[in-house]
């Protein structure tokens, strides 16, 4: 057990921090449902960051750290699947990656180079042509799209499917960890300055304790996500995704509550994180599907350690 980063890992997270600092602000005139991050994506692509998982000194743990950090940004780009899933299913496949689940609209589907098509228990791979997808107006803070054409879908083997599902879960948990942290940070900032009854909201114990409980959940989601990225174990991945989706429900409700009506406005931007969390909450079958996998994979040992 060792939680400090190696020199290589620290150098990588330092570089990601420096990139993130350039994308940390929201344009003053912005009032959209999602903030596109094309420039961020281009910078990551140019620096080869989508392939860090395949570098032996880095590995998936570094990719998970990067995904978590970049998810804290207000803008969004297709990062998590490219960094954590693509290296496991085929690092020669064109990105961006997107998940198409049971025919529903999905994140980054419009313009995806590779679609992971989830249909029941199976996963297939498709490469949509230009006219095969279209964008969809959405409350979610991702660019959402749907499939309109019928590209060929290559089914993955059972082994490949299990592997893809594991890493989709890791990607979900790592991204959730960053989103939660950023939403909590924004709420702490808001309640530290917003005054009612003559003092900052953040001095009221009813709210302080709820934010502290959110912080406990965020720390847990992050640790479980990193453990799953480190081990690649099916049980760890299912547990991390479960905890992320389960915690997201409480956290989004609590944090919006603390922002009051201001949190409902596009100007306030809390939705840029919480409405990404909501989108991720339903993915991969949602809480019920993760729980079934946890039940299957996490209670096998008589002695848990």
Partner 1 sequence: MEFDWNDEQRTFRATVRAFLNDNLPPDWEALAHGPGSSAQSHFSKQFCAALAKAGLLVPHWPAEWGGRDADPWTSFILAEEMWAAGEPRGGQYMNVNWIGPTLMRFGSLEQRQRYIGPMARGETLWCQGFSEPEAGSDLAALRTRAELVDDKYRVNGQKIWTSYAGLADTCFLLARTSEGKGGISIFLLPMDTPGITVRQIPSIIGEGDIHEVFFDDVEVPATAMLGGEGEAWSIVREALALERVGIPRFALATKMLHRAVDTLRKESRFHHSAQVQAARAKAACEAARLGSYSIIDARCNGQIPGPEASLVRFGTVNAERLVSDFVVEHLPEALSGGDPVMLAHHQRAIVAGIASGAAEIQLNLIATELLQLPREPR
Binding site for partner 1 (CB under 8 A): 1-6, 9, 61, 184, 188, 191-192, 199-200, 202-205, 208-209, 211-213, 215-216, 219-221, 223-224, 226-227, 230-231, 238-239, 242-243, 246, 287-288, 290-292, 294-295, 298-299, 301-305
Residue 13 CB, nearest approach to partner 1 (Å): 11
The whole-angstrom separation of Cα 185 and Cα 258 is: 12
Compare residues 5 and 268 and give the one whose CB is closer to partner 1. 5
Compare residues 93 and 188 and give the one whose CB is closer to partner 1. 188
Whether 100 and 109 have beta carbons less than 8 Å apart is answered as: yes
Whether 282 and 241 have beta carbons less than 8 Å apart is answered as: no
Residue 175 CB, nearest approach to partner 1 (Å): 17
Burial class (CB in 10 A: 0-12, 13-18, 19+), 11: middle
Compare residues 109 and 238 and give the one whose CB is closer to partner 1. 238
Residue 153 CB, nearest approach to partner 1 (Å): 29
Residue 7 CB, nearest approach to partner 1 (Å): 12
The whole-angstrom separation of Cα 177 and Cα 181 is: 6
Residue 301 CB, nearest approach to partner 1 (Å): 7
Strands (E) across 32-162 are located at: 35-36, 75-76, 97-101, 106-107, 114-119, 122-126, 133-136, 144-147, 153-155
The whole-angstrom separation of Cα 239 and Cα 255 is: 24
Looking at residue 136, what DSSP letter applies?
E
Residue 281 CB, nearest approach to partner 1 (Å): 14
Compare residues 6 and 25 and give the one whose CB is closer to partner 1. 6
What residues pair up with 154 in beta bridges, in sequence order? 125
Compare residues 98 and 226 and give the one whose CB is closer to partner 1. 226
What residues pair up with 136 in beta bridges, in sequence order? 144
Compare residues 274 and 290 and give the one whose CB is closer to partner 1. 290
Residue 242 CB, nearest approach to partner 1 (Å): 5
Compare residues 58 and 116 and give the one whose CB is closer to partner 1. 58
Residues 6 or more apart in contact with residue 91 via CB below 8 angstroms: 51, 54
Instruction: Spell 256-294 as b/e; 16+ CB within 10 A means b.
Output: bebbeeebeeeebbbbbbbbbbbbbbebbbebebbbebb
What residues pair up with 36 in beta bridges, in sequence order? 76
């Amino acid at each position: 057990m060792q939680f400090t980063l190696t020199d290589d890992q620290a150098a990588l997270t330092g570089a990601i921090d420096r990139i993130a600092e350039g994308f940390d602000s929201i344009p003053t005139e912005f009032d959209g449902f999602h903030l596109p991050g094309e420039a961020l994506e281009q910078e990551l692509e140019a620096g080869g960051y989508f392939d860090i998982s395949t570098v032996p000194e880095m590995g998936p743990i570094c990719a998970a750290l990067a995904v978590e950090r970049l998810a804290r940004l207000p803008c969004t780009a297709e990062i998590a699947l490219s960094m954590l899933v693509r290296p496991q299913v085929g690092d020669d496949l064109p990105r961006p990656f997107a998940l198409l689940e049971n025919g529903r609209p999905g994140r980054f589907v419009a313009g995806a180079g590779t679609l992971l098509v989830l249909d029941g228990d199976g996963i297939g791979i498709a490469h949509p042509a230009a006219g095969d997808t279209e964008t969809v107006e959405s409350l979610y803070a991702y660019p959402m799209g749907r499939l309109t054409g019928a590209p060929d879908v290559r089914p993955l083997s059972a082994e490949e499917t299990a592997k893809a599902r594991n890493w989709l879960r890791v990607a979900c948990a790592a991204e959730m960890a960053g989103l939660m942290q950023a939403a909590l940070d924004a709420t702490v900032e808001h309640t530290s300055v917003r005054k009612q009854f003559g003092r900052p909201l953040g001095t009221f114990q009813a709210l302080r304790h709820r934010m502290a409980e959110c912080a406990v959940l965020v720390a847990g989601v992050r640790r479980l996500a990193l453990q799953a990225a480190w081990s690649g174990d099916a049980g760890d991945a299912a547990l991390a995704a479960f905890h992320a989706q389960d915690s997201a429900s409480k956290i989004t409700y609590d944090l919006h509550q603390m922002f009051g009506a201001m949190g409902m406005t596009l100007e306030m931007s809390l939705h840029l994180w919480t409405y990404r969390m909501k989108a991720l909450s339903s993915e991969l079958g949602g809480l019920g599907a993760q729980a079934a996998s946890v039940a299957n994979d996490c209670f096998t040992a008589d002695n848990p350690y």
